[in-house]
Structure 1
Amino acid sequence: MRLVLALLALVLLPVTAATAQPVEVTVQRDGDAFLAEFTLPRAAPAWGFFRSSPDAGTQQSWRLQSWRVLTPGVALQRRGSFDAFVSTNARPVPLKVRVRFDPFTGDLLADYVPALRLGGRSVAVFDGHFALFSVGRADVLDRLSSSGDPRLMTDTGTGVRFRGGNLRLAGDVEGYRRGNSEGTYGLYDVPKAVVRNGVATVLDGDLPQWIADDLASYSPRVMQSLTARLGPPGITQPTILAAWEGSQRDGVSMNGGTLKGLILMRFEGRQALQPIPALADMAHWFIAHEASHFWLGQSIHYASQRDSWIMEGGADLLATRTVQSLNPAFDPRTKLNEGLRDCVQLANQPIATAIDRNQVRANYACGVLFALVAEKVSRGDFYAFVRNLIAANRADREVSLDEWLTALARAGGTQAQVTTIHAMVERGTPQPKATIANLLRGSAIPFVLDQNGVPQLQ
């Protein structure tokens, strides 16, 4: 009888998103650890996590390092490109799954850090990492690419609710997520934000004071500059969330990302305890890049992760031009030529599949090359190209490769430019140096070849 019921549940698995209930997740603090309870709306043998990017350091699942399933009959496993709850018997996964986890603060290969520690007991937990989809058979996960296949996955949304204590949300959004949609961070025991010139900063209490002061003064200038050139981003109050990872290591490092109305930053290293102009310059460019995603990434976003080069390369060029306008001593060629060098190394394979190959850098490096072409055909005004791109795709707020190329053609791009970029995205090029040189030459962008034959802007 149990086997019959299990098989019946699998037969009844297919549902429509319009009628099915979402996954409900409650996250609450339990001392220094956290408890997450998943309420699943239907029977299924396995539930995959949309956001399953591995730990950047070990290339292994970060969940398997920091989560412990408390519910009998279900295991957390790495299946193909996905972490998943998988039934350990003939029955479907129980409709209630409880997990105890320690906040994982390490870098992921291509996603937002699961948690940030902000000094003392302050912890920020990202809700997007709890979003689930179901599959009719567990082995389906083994053959799914990291981008997934909607025909084999059932996604009816995931609602995440943070509970307990001194808690609030960061950013502009709350509610149910679908797929890889951006979410927000639940802030536990975090000090109140400091608001200056319309930009809020939530800073780790242990962050070196010179970094805190610099972030608070520079961030509003970036937002004002971008808004003046691109129009309002539709964000109530942009927020900077900055964490200090400590001074145990020599040197200095900085990383982060962006969500709806929220810029994340993490600083680390002994040398960062004292002012470092190079670190300040890095932070300024980073803030400009991430703030650019309020337009390229939120006002409009890509239709598929195959098109993420549109957002990342575009944000790179917007950041470069914005920092250049705020700091006349800034030389944009350093950043741009770094992109050209990396694109030469990565463009021999399709840019569209770079994420599947764990070559995320291709989206930035080759994306900024394509953005330079768009800037040139727009009479040297990339801001104008982005404004027009947003206006043309305001209805569905999505931009695909074809729609971006249409915008390029409308701005004055040639058929040769369109054909070359399309080929690099979809197929790659067997001769990256020559292809990139021809694209720059055909766009009247001045360059020279370095000693290795790599095109570099003059």
Structure 2
Amino acid sequence: MLTLVIALLTQAITTTEAPSKPATAIVTRSRNEWRVEYRLKKKSRAWLFPVSQPVSRTHEPWRERAWRVITAGVHIERRGSYDVLVPTNGTFVPLKVQIVFTPTNATLDREYDPAIAFSNGATALYSDQFDVIPSADLNAIGAKEAGLSVRDLGGSHTTVRFHDVSGPVFVQGRRQSDPVLIGGETYVVFGSSKVEETAGVAMLADPALPEWVKAEVAGFAPKRCRGIRFTTG
């Protein structure tokens, strides 16, 4: 797949102090292993993943096959249109949950791809796929409309830290060590790739992408994005 990730350098990148969140997460890549560790700050009978749309081509869910819960007493199951963390003993989801996952490079139905694979081995992860929100009524989840946002579901975004054992990641137009995103709606790129700066645009392009495509993007991106301010929180 030919991939291009861009961000403006000329716009201000601001960070707001995060209010108290019901969940935090650390996403870690260590060599070929990917892991997400959740710290849940309240007891709940279920934790719902808002980004749960199925794969467009097959209409099948993807998270149950690609994410493996290694914490005892909890598993992922499908309820209606959503993936859900559910306790195996019928009480509450453990407050600390560890999951090993394989980045899912697939096109979802009306949602950002969970992961994008570059031809040189780099991987971009969609930040908001790691959002989880508590739900007191497990049965009610199955009746909810598909594609609802975190806010529509009555929750708030998870505070997510991204850590690569190999070094900084690329996000919001620059390389950063252990960036923290809250509802970032962006991609975090793990792995080495050349960052090209042209006319105020920091462009991380797949090495296989033709030069003329990169030139066109560098030309129209500042015009389309002028006035946008990137924020977290």
Query: 1:51-106: per-residue Cα shift (whole Å, max 9, x none)?
Result: 11111122111111211111111110111111110111122000011110111101
Distance of 2:20 and 2:167 partners within structure 1: 33
- Which residue in 2 is equivalent to 1:102? 102
The SS at the match of 2:221 is: helix
Conservation of the 8 A alpha-carbon contact between 1:82 and 1:141:
yes
Conservation of the 8 A alpha-carbon contact between 1:20 and 1:156:
no
Higher helix share: 1
Which structure: larger Rg? 1
Aligned partner letter, 1:169? F
Conservation of the 8 A alpha-carbon contact between 1:49 and 1:83:
yes
Distance of 1:194 and 1:149 partners within structure 2: 34
Distance of 1:121 and 1:166 partners within structure 2: 15
> 1:152 offset after TM fit, Å?
9.4
The SS at the match of 2:71 is: coil
1:305-384 aligned at under 5 Å gives the runs none
Q: Does 1:50 align with 2:56?
A: no
1:97-176 aligned at under 5 Å gives the runs 97-148=97-148, 153-164=153-164, 165-171=166-172, 175-176=181-182
Q: Does 1:187 align with 2:193?
A: no
| TM-score normalized with structure 2 length | 0.79
Distance of 1:150 and 1:169 partners within structure 2: 25
Q: Gaps (5+ residues) in structure 1?
A: 1-17, 237-259, 261-458
Aligned partner letter, 1:51? V
> 1:198 offset after TM fit, Å?
1.6
- Which residue in 1 is equivalent to 2:79? 79
Q: Does 1:200 align with 2:198?
A: no
1:387-402 aligned at under 5 Å gives the runs none
> 1:48 offset after TM fit, Å?
0.6
The SS at the match of 1:51 is: coil
Distance of 1:186 and 1:19 partners within structure 2: 22
Query: 1:121-141: per-residue Cα shift (whole Å, max 9, x none)?
Result: 311111110011111121111
Distance of 1:218 and 1:199 partners within structure 2: 12
- Which residue in 1 is equivalent to 2:227? 233
Q: Gaps (5+ residues) in structure 2?
A: 1-17, 174-178
Between the aligned residues of both structures, percent identity stands at 25
Distance of 1:23 and 1:218 partners within structure 2: 41
Change in Cα spacing, 1:111 to 1:153, as seen in structure 2 (3 Å) is closer
Change in Cα spacing, 1:147 to 1:116, as seen in structure 2 (3 Å) is closer
- Which residue in 2 is equivalent to 1:214? 212
Higher strand share: 2
Distance of 1:226 and 1:154 partners within structure 2: 32
> 1:47 offset after TM fit, Å?
0.6
Change in Cα spacing, 1:148 to 1:121, as seen in structure 2 (3 Å) is closer
Aligned partner letter, 2:51? R
Query: RCO higher in 1 or 2 (8 Å CA, sep ≥ 6)?
Result: 2
